[in-house]
Amino acid sequence: MYSQAKVIAGGLAHIPIVIAVFYFILTTFNKRALKFVEEAKTKKPEAKAVETKKVAVSKTEAPKTEAPKIVKKKHADVPVNIYRPKTPYEGTVIENYSLLKEGAIGRVNHITFDLKDSDPFLNYVEGQSIGIMPAGEDANGKPHKLRLYSIASTRHGDDFNGNTVSLCVRQLQYEKDGETINGVCSTYLCDIKPGDKVKITGPVGKEMLLPDEEDANIVMLATGTGIAPMRAYLRRMFEPTEKEKNKWNFKGKAWLFMGAPKSANLLYEEDLQRYIADHPDNFKYTKAISREQQNTKGGRMYIQDRVLESANELFNMIEDEKTHIYLCGLKGMEPGIDEAMTKAAEEKGLNWAELRPQLKKAGRWHVETY
Ligand code: FAD
Ligand code: A2P
């Protein structure tokens, strides 16, 4: 017969067994957990994505090799859409002046806005764009839609205080049924006065960013206001006070191909000449002045004609994996540039149709045309 005391004593006698089993399970689990932590510690961190990737330049006859594995930089730290159309930032115009000389065609202005009161702060980096919402309404009584403009200033702004943004705007004008039509937003921007408030959105765009590498080579192909992002790049590379601010010690080669209808239409010419004088080994500037110069066929001189003239030197640069090419301005120039690149590549035994997608994939071919 079991007495209550015997039952209790029997129960107590099992306690050491239960503790032993529990201890065994615990130590086995801890050992595994420790092993896992140690393994995790000794694992190498993931290779950091870099912007300049190795891309084999494909010769026409070269055997096809497996495409190189490319890790594109995510640019996660680049600001985008701080201000959207429903809640734009109202920036104040600081200055608005013509960039053209006597005898130039049309109207192209440099316009600067104050951003210092923006909260959150509207910061941006070189190569981005902002949206402008022109005042007034469209034909349907709705507010005008925003138009994008490439930023022409560095992140430090034209006055180096880091709280302005500048644009380079051509007024759109065309003839229709015998009448001159003025573009809505470009006319609004060319007409605004210092002190006026303007609705700004953005920044947007990650296509035209500069690489981080100080020894990168930067080839720029611009027509008209397509110079806007290039102006920001060149200031970042060569403008003394800007360089003090950005601590980016550019050591590569910059080559600007610039297309304008007349000499009087060349934009930021004095600055560019100063950069050449100060940095003759790092900056090359090639102009195509369409209505004053002729190409070999007797037609208007376009930047693609200049590209062909410089085919050998240009493709020597492109074969260097540190070279990036930026194209900005008229959409219409794209086929012409492609044709010129095809011919220029052929002269070097290269196939542009194969090479271009490789450069694009490697983040070295940057296009923003409109
Ligand atoms: P709108 O009043 O919108 O008129 C344009 C419309 O007019 C066209 O859509 C077309 O329907 C019609 N049209 C145009 N030309 C003709 C023609 N010849 N015949 C008949 N119809 C015609 N512009 C700059 O000046 N500087 C920049 O830095 C710049 N950067 C840009 C960056 C990006 C990413 C993009 C997408 C565009 C950029 N633009 C830039 C262009 C800018 O966004 C506007 O498109 C331009 O200013 C014209 O806008 P608008 O309101 O004046 O013209
Ligand atoms: P053009 O107008 O003489 O034909 P802007 O914007 O100040 O007018 O400058 C644009 C420049 O680009 C002009 O010199 C213009 O020449 C030139 N251009 C026009 N069409 C093309 C094209 N398809 N390819 C390259 N350049 C072009």
Query: Residue 288 Cα, ligand 2 centroid: separation in angstroms?
Result: 9
**Which residue puts its alpha carbon closest to atom 2 of ligand 2?**
261
CB-based contacts of 234, cutoff 8 Å, min separation 6: 254, 256, 271, 272, 275, 283
Of 32-41, 152-161, 289-298, 303-312, least confident by mean pLDDT is 32-41
**Which residue puts its alpha carbon closest to atom 23 of ligand 2?**
333
E strand segments, 164-301: 164-170, 173-176, 179-182, 197-204, 217-223, 254-260, 283-289
- Whether 170 shows a pLDDT value over 80: the answer reads yes
| 275 has catalytic annotation | no
Q: Are 291 and 262 in contact (CB under 8 A)?
A: yes
Which residue, among 71, 165, 67, has the nearest Cα to 115 in the 3D structure? 165
pLDDT of residue 348: 87
Fold of 217-369: Rossmann fold (3.40.50)
Give dist(CA 151, CA 126) in Å, integer.
7
Residue 229 alpha carbon, nearest atom of ligand 1: 28
- Whether 96 shows a pLDDT value over 80: the answer reads yes
Q: Are 254 and 217 in contact (CB under 8 A)?
A: yes
CB-based contacts of 179, cutoff 8 Å, min separation 6: none
| 268 has catalytic annotation | no
What letter would DSSP give residue 144?
P
Which residue, among 224, 221, 196, has the nearest Cα to 108 in the 3D structure? 224
Q: Are 237 and 251 in contact (CB under 8 A)?
A: no
List the structure tokens of 6.
């015997």
Query: Residue 227 Cα, ligand 2 centroid: separation in angstroms?
Result: 13
More confident residue, 15 or 148: 148
Rg, the chain, Cα only:
30
The 3-state DSSP class for residue 257 equals strand
Residue of 97, 137, 313, 370 marked active site: 370
Full-model pTM: 0.85
* Top mutation candidate among 140, 144, 147, 169 for ligand 1, by most atoms within 8 Å of CB: 147
| 190 has catalytic annotation | no
Residue 34 — pLDDT band, cuts 50, 70, 90?
A: very low
List the structure tokens of 54.
């190795």
Q: Is 129 in the pocket of ligand 1 (CB under 6 A)?
A: yes
Exposure of 276 by Cβ count < 10 A (0-12 exposed, 13-18 middle, 19+ buried)?
Answer: middle
Q: Count Cβ neighbours within 10 Å for each residue of 323-335 and write b for 16 or more, e otherwise.
A: bbbbbbbbeebee
The 3-state DSSP class for residue 310 equals coil
Give dist(CA 17, CA 175) in Å, integer.
98
Q: 218-272 pLDDT, tens per residue?
A: 999 999 999 999 999 999 999 999 999 999 999 999 999 999 999 999 999 999 9
Q: 70-79 pLDDT, tens per residue?
A: 445 668 899 9
Fold of 89-204: Elongation Factor Tu (Ef-tu); domain 3 (2.40.30)
Query: Pocket around ligand 2: residues whose beta carbon is below 6 Å from it?
Result: 170, 223-224, 259-261, 265, 290-291, 300, 302-304, 330, 332-333, 336
Which residue's structure tokens are 């099992």? Answer: 14
| 368 has catalytic annotation | yes
More confident residue, 258 or 21: 258
- Kindly report the backbone phi and psi dihedral angles of residue 200, in degrees, each rounded to the nearest multiple of 5, phi listed first: -120, 140
| 150 has catalytic annotation | yes
The 3-state DSSP class for residue 158 equals coil
Q: Count Cβ neighbours within 10 Å for each residue of 141-159 and write b for 16 or more, e otherwise.
A: eeebebbbbbbbbbbbbbe
pLDDT of residue 124: 98
More confident residue, 18 or 250: 250
